[in-house]
Amino acid sequence: MGKKCVAMLLAGGQGSRLGVLTKNMAKPAVPFGGKYRIIDFPLSNCSNSGIDVVGVLTQYQPLELNSYLGSGMPWDLDRLTGGVFVLPPYIKGKSGTWYKGTANAIYQNLAFIEQYDPEYVLILSGDHIYKMDYSAMIAMHEKKQADCTIAVYSVPWSEASRFGIMNTDEKGDIVEFEEKPAEPKSNNASMGIYVFNWKDLKQYLIEDEANPESSNDFGKNIIPRMLAEGKHMVAYSFEGYWKDVGTIESLWEANMDLLQSPPAFNLYDSSWRIYARNPILPPHYISETAQVTDSMVTEGCTVSGKVDHSILFSGATVEEGAVVENSVIMNGARIQKGARVRRAIVSENAVVGPDSVVGGNGRIAVVGQETVLGEYSVVKPGEQVDAEVLLKRMAKDQEEAK
C-alpha cells in the first residue's frame, strides 16, 4: 500500500470574504472559469503530477463539495488504492473537535496518512487558481535532501506585507519566515504549499498537539519551530500564474484574466488539462438575436442577448435584449429580457428579472445562489443580495410605505 506522496488539501475555510457566494458552500466548491470549481485546480494538478491519494480536509458546508467530488472519477482519482477522500472532523471515543488549525486538521487525520506509509506529504490549500507540477517540487525536495520545501511566489513589493514572507540565502534555503511583515525584506511569498518528510512531520504534529499554547497552524507554529530548530528548509520558486480567489474582487479578476488575449492563464494546455465534473449538456446555442464578443461560453448556455467580455457558466441563459458586460454568470443563472448586468457576479441558478439593473461602475455587485430578482430590480455596485437581503429590503420598503 506504500505511496511515495500523499496530498492533503486544506479546504476548510469558510471563505467569509466571498460573502453570499459561500453562504451555502465551502470556498473550494465555488465555480470558476465557465465550467470549473476552485478545487479542480489543485486536484487536476495532483492528477497531472502523478499524485493519486488526495485527502480533502473540510468542515464547512461539505455537502456541495462531497457530491461534487464523488468517486473522484473526473480527475482520474478513482483508484484501486488511493483516490480522493473528503475528510471531515469526527468524534473519537468521547473526544473530538472541529479542526482547530491547519496543522491540527492534518493531526486529526494521521491514521489516514499512515495507511499509505508515504515518504512525503504534500500540503495544499484550496483557494488559488494555478497550474503547478508538484512532482518537480518533490524532486527538488529529494535532491536537496530538505526537511521541508515551501513553494514561494514573487509578489509585487507593494503587496508583500499581506503575505507570509520567506527570506532565503543565495542557495535558496529559507533562513527566516515573517508573517505579514510591515517592512518586508523579500517578496518571496509562501504559497501555502509544503512538502514534508512524513516521519518528521508526524513527530512535529504530535508534539505541536501536546502544546496547549499552540494555535496548531503550519504558518504560525510548525514552520517557525522547524526553522528555529535549524531544519533544512528550502524555497521552491514558482513562476507562472498564481491567483488568490478569496475575495469577490479577486475572484472576478481571476475570471477576467481568462479573457485576456492571449489569456493570462492558459486552460488550453492539453498536456496539463484541468478536469472538472461536467454536467452532460448540449453545446451552447447562440440565437439569431445574440451578439457575443470577447467572452467564454460553455455547454448548455442559451444566448439571445448581448454578451461582451464575460464568462457564462454551464446552462446559463441570457435572454433577448439583455446586456451582460464584464461579468461572471454562473451555472444555470438566467438574465431575463432587457436586464443589464455590468461588473457583477451572478451566482448559481440566480434569476435577474426583466429590465433589472445589476452592478455598474465601481465595486463588483453580487447576486447570490438561487436568488430571484423581480422585474426592475436594482443591485448597486458593490452590493451583495440573496434571498435574505431581499426579504429585509421588502420589510424595510413596507415599513417606509406605512
Partner 1 sequence: MKDVFGMIYTSDESDVRLRDLTRSRSIAAMPIGGRYRVIDVLLSNMVHSQITNVGLITQRNYHSLMDHLESGKAWDLNRKRDGLFILPPYVTRGNTGSYSGMLDAIRSNLGYVRRSAQRYALISGSSTVFNMKFDDMMKKHLETGADITILYNVPAENELKGDAERTHLKMDEEGRVVDIEVSPRLHSYPNVSMDVYIMDKALLTYLVEVSAAHYRTDFVRDVLLKQLSELKVYGYRYDGYVSRIESISSYYKLNMDMLNGEIRTPLLYRPNPVYTKVKDEVPARYEASAKAVNSLVADGCIIEGTVENSVLFRGVRVGKGAVVKDCILMQGVEVQDGAQLSNVIADKDAFIKRDRRIVGQESYPVVIEKNAVI
C-beta of residue 38 within 8 angstroms of C-beta of residue 32: yes
Phi then psi dihedrals of residue 28, to 5 deg: -60, -20
- Residue 34 C-beta: closest distance to partner 1, Å: 4
Check: CB of residue 277 under 8 Å from CB of residue 74: yes
User: Nearer to partner 1 by C-beta: 188 or 298?
Assistant: 298
d(CA 206, CA 333): 47
Q: How far is the CB of 267 from partner 1 (least distance, A)?
A: 4
Could you count the other beta carbons within 10 Å of the beta carbon of residue 374?
Answer: 13
Residue 293 beta carbon to partner 1: minimum distance, rounded to whole angstroms: 5
For partner 1, the closer CB: 73 or 394: 73
Cβ 324 vs Cβ 335: under 8 Å:
yes
Beta-ladder partners of 366:
345, 384
For partner 1, the closer CB: 232 or 273: 273
Beta strand extents in 104-185 (DSSP E only):
120-125, 128-130, 148-154, 164-168, 174-179
Residue 178 identity (one-letter amino acid): E
Nearer to partner 1, 276 or 350 (CB): 276
For the bound state, the minimum distance from the C-beta of residue 331 to partner 1, rounded and expressed in Å, comes to 12
Bond before 262 cis per omega within 30 degrees: yes
The footprint of partner 1 (CB under 8 A) covers 33-35, 73-74, 261, 267-268, 273-276, 278, 280-300, 302, 311-312
CB of 371 to partner 1, least distance (A): 23
Indicate the residue among 177 and 252 with the shorter CB distance to partner 1: 252
Pick between residue 47 and residue 125 the one whose CB is nearest to partner 1. 47
Q: How far is the CB of 272 from partner 1 (least distance, A)?
A: 11
* DSSP codes of every residue in 204-223: HHHHHHH-TT----IIIIIH
Asked if 282 and 292 count as a contact pair (C-beta separation under 8 A), the reply is no
> What is Dmax (Cα atoms) for the chain?
75
Contacts of 73 (CB under 8 A, 6+ apart): none
Radius of gyration, alpha carbons of the chain: 23
For residue 182, give the amino acid letter: A
The residue (of 158 and 261) whose beta carbon lies closer to partner 1 is: 261
Could you tell me the smallest distance in angstroms from the CB atom of residue 382 to partner 1?
A: 27
Measure CA of the first residue to CA of the last residue in the chain; give whole Å: 71
Q: How far is the CB of 306 from partner 1 (least distance, A)?
A: 12
Residue placing its CB nearer to partner 1 in the complex, 14 or 278:
278
